[in-house]
Structure formats: structure tokens, C-alpha cells
């Protein structure tokens, strides 16, 4: 996922810096944007056993064919960034014809920024009903982009229908519960909390506990490795987390604080007071598993 994350950031940066080029030059979109994303998705972009450019079909040439087990699994159609593939359905219909007349089940349409995945045929359905996935590198959050685009990866595209169905069900359920008055934070915590564990907020600790693990809330509860099973160990773990997410002088200050506390003997109550102060000043949420 990290390679895909880096590729998305890189492509977004290129689009911002060279928009006029990509709005006119489809070849630049293919080479600079689309190829980088597919490489990060695990496709060997220069291997004809996985990716074939200019694949002939009965209705014309598809820009690329993605190959799995020796067969064409999906066609990819590329447009320049000046083509609004969300409003202009001609490119999507063209892609659908390529797929349908060749017996290829899936198609991917992209202008480098917007990505659309299509199921080419299904009896009794309209084109819009067969769209599996839409994502936009210029508008959606990075985490959302990584998750959605990962469904086009070589390792996951086999299950794209099942996975997109699960994702849509999650989005609908989440939106429904939000309308019922449940907060986004509560729902995320519900989905990401560890079943069967006894997580206790730092504010509810007394200092006499022997924690099994420490957690910090960062778009979900993240496990922090404990240097030792004690309140001091929790404090050290939190300082390491803060250091990892800091830069420059602040990073150095946190490292010095970590080394100082690690070398000294402090009571559990003192360590607990420092943790509570960090929560307040750094707006952290810290819990431990007992």
C-alpha cells in the first residue's frame, strides 16, 4: 500500500504542476500518470505477458489490455485530462463496446486523475448500473484513494466485484448511521476497536496497573509496542509515537525527553501524570489494554 500511496502523491503533484500539458497530451498522461499508478498496483507495465498496449478489438484499439493467466482480463482506455470522463459518457460507452465485443468482462477508464472501473456486460442492466468504482485523485482523501485504487491491483482485481460490493455496503451503512445521529468518531471507533480487549483510557487509570499494550487513536486505535509492561512503558511508547510523527527541532526534543525518562526511575503515578498532560497539550487519546 505504501508504494501506491507514494504514486498517488506523485501523480497529484504532477497534475498540479503540469495541468496544461496533461489536458492536451494523452501520451503524456499515459506515460507520466497512468503507468506510475499501475506499476504501484503491482502490474509489470513493460511486460507484454501482463500489459499489452494498443490491443486490437473489433471496434478499434484499446489503449491497454491487462493480462492474467494468459487471457485479457480488462481493457484500459486512456484520455487526456481535458476530457471530463464523469460527464461525457462517450469514452465509457466506447470502452464498454471494446469489452463486450471481445468477451472481456471488465474495463478501466482514466484521464490520469479520475478512475472508473466498469463491468462490461450484465443482462438487463444499464451502463450506469455496471460502474463498479469511481475515484478522483484531485478530490478525495489519500486514504480513500489508496483503498479504492487498491481494488485494481494485480492481486485484488480478481475479486473486484465482491470487494466493491462490500465497500458500497459499508459506505451506505455508515451514511445511514450518521443520519441517525451517530457521530463519525463513534462509528470509526466501533469499526476499528479490538474485539474482546479491555481498553481503558489513561484518565481512568490509577497508576497501579500493569498494562499489556498501549494504544493511541489516529484514525483508529493503533497499537504501540511497549518497551516494558508498566505505566512508564506506556509513556515511553507514546513518546516514540510522537517522535515518529514529528519533524525538525520538535523531533529532537521528544527524542531527548524519551532518552531522559528511559534512563531515570519514575513512579507510576508520575508517569501517569505526564501521560495525562500529553493528552491535554498534544490532543492525544491514549488507552491501555489490561
pLDDT per residue as tens digits for the range 74-94: 999 999 999 999 999 899 999
Buried b (16+ CB within 10 A) or exposed e, 12-41: bebbeeeeeebbebbebbbebbbbbbbbbb
- The residue among 105, 107, 101, 103 whose CA lies nearest residue 59 is 101
N residues, the chain? 290
User: What confidence tier does 68 reach under pLDDT thresholds 50, 70, 90?
Assistant: very high
Q: How many CB atoms lie within 10 A of CB 85?
A: 21
Q: What is the pTM of this model?
A: 0.68
User: What confidence tier does 38 reach under pLDDT thresholds 50, 70, 90?
Assistant: very high
Domains of the chain and any CATH numbers: 2-161 (3.90.1570.30), 199-289 (no CATH)
Instruction: Say what percent of the chain tops pLDDT 90.
Output: 60
- The residue among 173, 195, 174, 196 whose CA lies nearest residue 185 is 174
Q: Is 219 helix (H, G, I), strand (E, B) or coil?
A: coil
Instruction: Measure the CA–CA gap between 212 and 220, rounded to whole angstroms.
Output: 19
Q: φ and ψ at 62, to 5 degrees?
A: -80, 140
pLDDT single digits (tens) 207-258: 888 888 889 988 778 888 888 889 999 999 999 999 988 888 899 999 988 8
- The residue among 91, 109, 93 whose CA lies nearest residue 101 is 93
Q: Is 186 helix (H, G, I), strand (E, B) or coil?
A: helix
Instruction: Measure the CA–CA gap between 29 and 119, rounded to whole angstroms.
Output: 24
Q: φ and ψ at 144, to 5 degrees?
A: -65, -40
pLDDT for 204: 87
Residues with Cβ within 8 Å of residue 59, at least 6 apart in sequence: 94, 97, 98, 101
User: What confidence tier does 8 reach under pLDDT thresholds 50, 70, 90?
Assistant: very high
Cα–Cα distance list, 100 to 89, 103, 138 (Å): 16, 5, 30
- DSSP assignment letter at 194: P
Specify whether the CB–CB gap between 235 and 269 falls below 8 A: no
Amino acid at each position: 500500500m505504501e508504494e501506491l500511496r507514494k504514486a498517488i502523491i506523485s501523480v497529484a503533484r504532477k497534475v498540479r504542476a503540469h495541468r496544461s500539458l496533461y489536458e492536451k497530451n494523452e501520451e503524456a498522461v499515459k506515460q507520466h500518470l497512468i503507468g506510475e499508478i499501475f506499476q504501484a498496483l503491482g502490474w509489470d507495465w513493460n511486460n507484454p505477458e501482463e500489459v499489452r498496449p494498443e490491443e486490437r478489438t473489433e471496434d478499434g484499439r484499446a489503449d491497454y489490455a491487462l493480462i492474467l493467466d494468459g487471457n485479457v482480463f480488462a481493457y484500459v482506455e486512456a484520455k487526456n485530462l481535458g476530457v471530463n470522463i464523469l460527464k461525457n459518457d462517450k469514452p465509457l460507452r466506447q470502452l464498454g463496446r471494446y469489452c463486450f465485443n471481445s468477451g472481456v468482462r471488465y474495463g478501466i477508464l482514466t484521464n490520469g486523475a479520475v478512475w472508473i472501473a466498469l463491468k462490461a456486460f450484465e443482462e438487463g442492466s444499464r451502463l450506469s448500473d455496471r460502474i463498479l468504482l469511481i475515484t478522483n485523485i484531485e478530490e478525495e482523501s489519500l486514504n480513500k484513494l489508496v483503498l479504492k485504487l487498491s481494488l485494481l491491483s494485480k492481486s485484488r482485481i480478481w475479486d473486484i466485484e465482491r470487494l466493491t460490493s462490500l465497500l458500497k455496503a459499508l459506505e451506505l451503512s455508515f451514511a445511514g448511521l450518521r443520519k441517525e445521529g451517530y457521530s463519525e468518531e463513534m462509528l470509526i471507533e466501533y469499526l476499528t476497536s479490538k474485539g474482546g480487549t479491555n481498553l481503558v483510557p489513561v484518565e481512568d487509570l490509577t497508576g497501579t496497573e500493569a498494562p499489556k499494550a498501549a494504544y493511541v487513536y489516529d484514525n483508529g486505535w493503533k497499537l504501540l509496542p511497549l518497551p516494558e509492561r508498566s505505566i512508564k512503558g506506556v509513556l515511553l511508547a507514546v513518546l516514540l509515537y510522537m517522535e515518529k510523527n514529528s519533524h525538525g527541532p520538535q523531533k529532537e526534543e521528544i527524542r531527548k525527553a524519551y532518552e531522559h525518562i528511559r534512563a531515570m526511575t519514575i513512579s507510576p503515578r508520575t508517569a501517569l501524570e505526564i501521560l495525562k498532560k500529553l493528552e491535554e497539550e498534544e490532543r492525544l487519546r491514549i488507552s491501555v489494554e489490561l
